[in-house]
Structure 1
């Protein structure tokens, strides 16, 4: 839920700043939650009066917030790359937590904030208390953005999972990975990951957390996709049998042209013609069938 401009202005007036935005509300709420964990699960979204009432009874925290707003925040435009993505939220939190000393003082982000606001509030609070000045915070943000772009570059190799929007591919990959991933990664990439993939984004999150290399991602998708296609082909062939017969060379040439014209294969063209003739009996009874000539050849 978005914070109304009226509520945001109340908070900006209280602190004497021009930052009338969700960013202000999210940061202050996060600082309160970190100071007093009971607020983390409470939904006070948009309730500036509740925040002001709390700060009026906590002089030290109020001064910390003022200092944060006065010296710590980088411009909004430098945060445009942050989205409302679950995957990006997970990646950024893990990225910051992996920095030595980053978890000395846990930051508690309100769960009722949007994913984007959670990320920005976390980043604002962490960088404001861990990095010396705005220049250092800008540099950190730029480096993290560059690393995110590198992280997402191989995503295209997973696109085959979402082409038809079917959950079957996602379920297949979950079942296929445990027995096959170790072949090319040389390690158990499922350690600490117990929840089944629900969607394409879950697969990408798993890839991030497993720290797969670009080569791993390419090979994983090549093998998984090949296995998936083979299973699909076998499933489609359940009610089919092989039929070998011979046709004249000229007929084969015509068959090839028909297949190219209709962007199909020879088997599909033959099956279509047979089914249509069986239904209509329009042509065969008008033609006197002759024995095959010597120029015929076998077609499979």
Structure 2
């Protein structure tokens, strides 16, 4: 809907731009701060605008208060320019803003907003003056920067085995930390894993501990997979040969098995020591 369209709301609030942000704020302000019952409707629809206009017409005191509140409480759009349109960041910020403001908005209109729009709506509706909101938003920006630094903890997941590692991580958490996975969607890639931990409440120390245990499980699993590809052979070597084998292993910092493996494969490739048998 075009802003400033001459409808009931534009008549009730002359001079207002009535952007979607302002209409959202008006609706939530009337519902939450003034406890005025509003019928469910689509965001910024003509029905919504008309409901707001009629509510204001019945409550002129509220209208006067709204003008003052808009000028003293709504931060300019530029204040939110650093917030991304979608992704992890606005989702985390909106959750943090909900905790900071203490607002629990149950309106279906609020639920239709994007995470970024929810963040802005929470700050708009928060009953604090301009300066307090500006300071709180700056602290929130700093908090996100600090929070994002913990992404380094999960750098091990970023390689060709990302999805397999994430599947293992989910399996481990589901078994060992069911409180974290309860009612959560399984993650299948690193971005989803990061978002999962954004809202897990786990400290950096706990995250590091979990990743360390998952890495150990991964190593154990890989060792077992490799063992399946090998077959054990039992044979007896003379003591003198055993001594030479031990010496070679020590000199080259290799296991006895690795020394034998390299010698056998080397002989197969270069044919230096074993005489060829005459063909029959």
TM-score with structure 1 length normalisation?
0.61
> How many aligned residue pairs are there?
245
In 2, Cα distance between the equivalents of 1:69 and 1:52? 17
Deviation at 1:82, TM superposition (A): 2.2
What CA distance in whole angstroms lies between the structure 2 residues aligned with 1:270 and 1:25? 79
8 Å Cα contact 1:190-1:210 kept in structure 2? no
In the TM superposition, 1:200-211 aligns within 5 A as 200-211=190-201
CA distance in 2, matches of 1:241, 1:288: 26
Contact map agreement 2:84 2:116 (CA 8 A) in 1: yes
What is the CA–CA distance in structure 2 between the aligned matches of 1:115 and 1:23, rounded to whole Å?
Answer: 13
Match of 1:134 among 115, 130, 137: 130
Counterpart secondary structure, 1:163: coil
Q: CA deviation at 1:83?
A: 2.4
Alignment partner, residue 57 of structure 1: 54
Contact 1:56/1:62 (8 A) holds in 2: no
Q: 1:110 to 1:288 in 2, by over 3 A?
A: closer
Is residue 121 of structure 1 aligned with residue 121 of structure 2? Answer: yes
Deviation of the 1:67 alpha carbon: 3.8
Aligned CA distance change for structure 1 residues 221 and 28 (closer, same or farther; 3 Å): same
Do residues 144 (structure 1) and 140 (structure 2) align? Answer: yes
* TM-align CA RMSD: 4.5
Out of 214, 218, 222, which is 2:204 matched to? Answer: 214
- Relative distance call for 1:106 and 1:115 in structure 2 (3 A) is closer
Q: Contact 2:26/2:52 (CA < 8 Å) preserved in 1? A: no
2:232 is the counterpart of 1:232: no
Q: Cα deviation per residue 1:67-108 (whole Å; 9 max; x = unaligned)?
A: 432221112222123224464455334434434x824x7463
Tell me how far 1:222 sits from its aligned partner: 2.4
CA separation in 2, counterparts of 1:91 and 1:51? 29
CA shift, 1:233, in A, is 4.3
Residue aligning to 1:155? 151
Partner of 2:92: 91
Which residue in 2 is equivalent to 1:260?
none
- Deviation track 1:31-53 (CA, whole Å, cap 9, x = no partner) reads 466454653xx443x53x33321
| 1:145 to partner: Cα distance | 1.5
* Alpha-carbon distance in 2 for matches of 1:143, 1:53: 38
Tell me what 1:75 maps to: 76
**C-alpha spacing 1:288/1:115, structure 2 compared with 1 (3 Å):** closer
> Residues 17, 237 of structure 1: CA spacing in aligned structure 2 closer, same or farther, 3 A cutoff?
farther
Q: Give yes or no for the alignment of 1:190 onto 2:179.
A: yes
1:236 is displaced (CA, Å) by: 4.7
Change over 3 Å in CA distance of 1:16–1:197 after alignment to 2: farther
Residue 164 of structure 2: aligned partner:
168
SS of equivalent residue, structure 1 residue 150: helix
Superposition deviation, residue 125 in structure 1: 1.3
Superposition deviation, residue 150 in structure 1: 1.6
Q: Within 5 A, what are the aligned runs for 1:101-116?
A: 102-103=102-103, 106=105, 108=107, 109-116=109-116
Could you say what secondary structure the match of 1:234 adopts? helix
Structure 1 runs not aligned, ≥5 long: 1-5, 182-188, 247-251, 257-265, 278-282, 292-300
In structure 2, runs of 5+ residues without a counterpart are 235-240, 242-247, 253-258, 276-280
- TM-score normalised per structure 2: 0.65
